[in-house]
Structure 1
Amino acid sequence: MTAEFTNWITEYGYWATFFGAMIEGETAAFLSGVAAHNQLLYYPWVMLFAALGGIVSDNVLFYVGYFAGSQILPKFHRHQKKINRVQQLIRQHENFIIIAIRFAYGLRTVGPIIIGASKVNPFKFFILNILGGALWGVIIVSCGYFISSAILALPIHSSLTWFLLIIIAVVLFIFLRRQWKK
C-alpha cells in the first residue's frame, strides 16, 4: 500500500466505516475489519463505528416507514408478496425480526421501512435496533478481521494476498446472496 493511501485510511477510516455502514453496509464493515487487522484502525473502534452507522441508518429508515410507509410500500408492485410476508413475520416474531433484519440480504434497506410501516413501537425498535446493530458490527467487522488474518498468514506475496482476499470476499458474497434467494 502506498503511504498516501495508508495515511488516508488512518485519518478518515472511522468516518468511512460509519458512512459506509450507513450507505452500503457489509462491504464497508468487512473492509474496515481488514484495515483493523492491518493495524491501520483500532479494532474495537471499527466495530463501534460500523454498528453506529447501521443503527443510525436503520433508525432513519424506520421513521421513513413509520411516517410514510403506507405511501411508499404500495409502489413496490413486484414485491408486494414479499412485503406482506415480512409484515406477517413482524407480527409473529417482532423482536427477532427487528434484531435480525440487517442480516437478511435484500432487506437491509427496505426492512426497517417495512418494520416502521407496521407501526412497531418506536422506542422498542430503537432498543432492539441497538442490540441488532451491535451484533452486526461485531460479526461483520470480525469476519473481515479474521479472514484477513487467515489469508495474510499464507506464505505468499502481499499483492497476491490482497487479490485473494478480494476474490474470497466476492465469492462469499455471491454464495450468501444465492443462499438467501433460495
Structure 2
Amino acid sequence: MDNFWEYLQNLTDAQSIISLGFYFLLIVVFAETGLFFGFFLPGDYLLFMSGLLCSSSRLNVSIYTLIFSLIAAGVLGNYTGYWFGYRTGPKLFSKNNSIFFKQRYVKLAEDFYTKYGGMALVLGRFFPIIRTFAPIFAGVVKVDLKKFTLYNIIGSVAWVNTFTLTGYFLGRKYPQIKDYMEYIIIGLIVITTIPLVIAFIKQMVTKRSVKELK
C-alpha cells in the first residue's frame, strides 16, 4: 500500500509534470484521442493537472493558449483515428489481440456508437478507451466527414474545457488543493471507470444470454 501511495505521489508531482513540458501534454492528448495504442494514457488527469498548474503559473503558458492548444490536439487526434479506421476498415475487426490492442475495445466502441450515434464522438470523450476507439470506429463505418468534423470539434471543446477549467478554477480558489492530488486522481479514476465496468458487464450478460438461447 505504501508503494501504491508513493507511486501516486510521484505521478502527481508538479515538477515531474512540468519537466515533461507543455508539448508533452499535447502529444498525450493527440495520442489518446487518435492512436489505438494510446488508450492507456491518462488524458483526463493531465487535462486537470495542466489547468491546475496553469492557475499557479507553474505551467508557463496562458490559460487561453493552453485551452486552444489542447482542443486542437484533440481535434487532430480524432481526425487521425478516423483516417486510420477509414483505411483499415473491416480488417480492424480481424486484428489479433496484443498488449496494445484488444478486440473487446473495438466492440465496446461499436456498441457505444450504435447506442448514441454521432453523439458517441462527443460523449465518448469523457470515457477512457471509448475516447480512443470511437473516432476509429467512425472511420470504419465511414461516417460523413462533415458530420464527423462537427462532433469532433464539439467533443474536443467540451472535454478540454470541462477538465482543464475545473483544474484551473479550483487551483485559483483553493491553492492548497495540490496537497490532496492523490485523492483527486483516485476520484477521477473511479468516476471515469465505473461506466466502462458497467458496459463490460452488460456485454458479458448479453453474450451469456445469447449462448443460453442457442
Q: Provide the TM-score with structure 1 as the length reference.
A: 0.76
- What residue in structure 1 maps to residue 29 of structure 2? 21
Alignment of 1:44-59 (within 5 A): 44-59=64-79
C-alpha spacing 1:46/1:10, structure 2 compared with 1 (3 Å): farther
Show CA shifts across 1:63-111 (max 9, x none). Answer: 1111213111333544565354234235xx32x2222221123211111
RMSD: 2.7
Of 37, 41, 46 in structure 1, the residue corresponding to residue 55 of structure 2 is 37
- What residue in structure 2 maps to residue 146 of structure 1? 169
Which portions of structure 1, spanning 4 or more consecutive aligned residues, are displaced by more than 6 angstroms?
none
- What residue in structure 1 maps to residue 114 of structure 2? 88
> How high is the sequence identity, in percent, across the aligned residues?
20
Partner SS, residue 109 of structure 1: helix
Gaps in structure 2 of 5+ consecutive residues: 1-14, 32-40, 96-101, 199-214
- What residue in structure 1 maps to residue 94 of structure 2? 74
Inter-partner Cα distance in structure 1 for 2:20 and 2:106: 44
C-alpha spacing 1:69/1:111, structure 2 compared with 1 (3 Å): same
- What residue in structure 2 maps to residue 158 of structure 1? none
Show CA shifts across 1:156-181 (max 9, x none). Answer: xxxxx534123312332223312442
Q: Figure out how many residues of one structure are paired with residues of the other and give that number.
A: 166
C-alpha spacing 1:60/1:178, structure 2 compared with 1 (3 Å): same
Of 116, 139, 142 in structure 1, the residue corresponding to residue 139 of structure 2 is 116
Report the AA paired with residue 88 of structure 1: T
Tell me if the contact between 1:50 and 1:141 (Cα under 8 Å) persists in the aligned partners. Answer: no
Gaps in structure 1 of 5+ consecutive residues: 155-160
